[in-house]
Amino acid sequence: MFKAWLLAAALITAPFAAGAAGTDIAFAGLKTDTTLPVQVSADQLSVSQADGTAVFTGHVVVTQGAMTLQAASVQVEYAKDQKSIARMLAKGDVKMVAGGEAASAQSADYAPETGILILQGDVLLTQGSSAIAGQTLTISLKTGLGTMEGRVTTTFTPAQPKKN
């Protein structure tokens, strides 16, 4: 009964739209154009031609459109054609901002071609004064739809009535 009430309250008062299982979520702010260029800046870059990777370390900032990701290190795996990015793996105090939403985690795994982003380890997503936390957030940056897993907790701030 309490679970049903909580889900109903979440659907009414929160900017996060929960699905029937309570884990499917719509994140309008985390939707981005995945065809835009990816820009990376860091203190240091190490490249390995042997395995087609580049490792950025120290104050790494990755941007794509309106999305910004920061981490201690980011490993970039290039596609077989060596012209596009197949995967980016960020580790260490990962923070992401897009639109009015922000997320933090221990690591992030992003595939630019598919637009799939997986945040893992003490994931916290905030939108305004509302927040949702769990261990893994898998989200499509193309659609803005995602799933939070692993002991999901959330804080909702109900809209305050207007005073006349």
Residue pLDDT, tens place only, 62-113 = 888 888 999 999 999 988 887 788 899 999 999 999 877 899 999 999 898 8
Cβ atoms within 10 Å, residue 99: 15
Predicted pLDDT at 123 = 95
At 17 the pLDDT is 37
Burial of 151 (0-12, 13-18, 19+ CB in 10 A): exposed
Give CA–CA dist 82/132, Å, rounded. 37
**What is the mean pLDDT of the segment spanning 140-144?**
82
List, in order of start, the domains of the chain with CATH numbers. Answer: 15-155 (2.60.450.10)
Provide the 10 A C-beta neighbour count for residue 144: 19
- Band of the pLDDT at 7, cuts 50, 70, 90? very low
**pTM (whole model) above 0.95:** no
Collect all residues with Cβ–Cβ distance below 8 Å to 85 and sequence separation of at least 6: 38, 76, 77, 78, 79, 112, 113
Q: How confident is the model at residue 61 (pLDDT cuts 50, 70, 90)?
A: very high
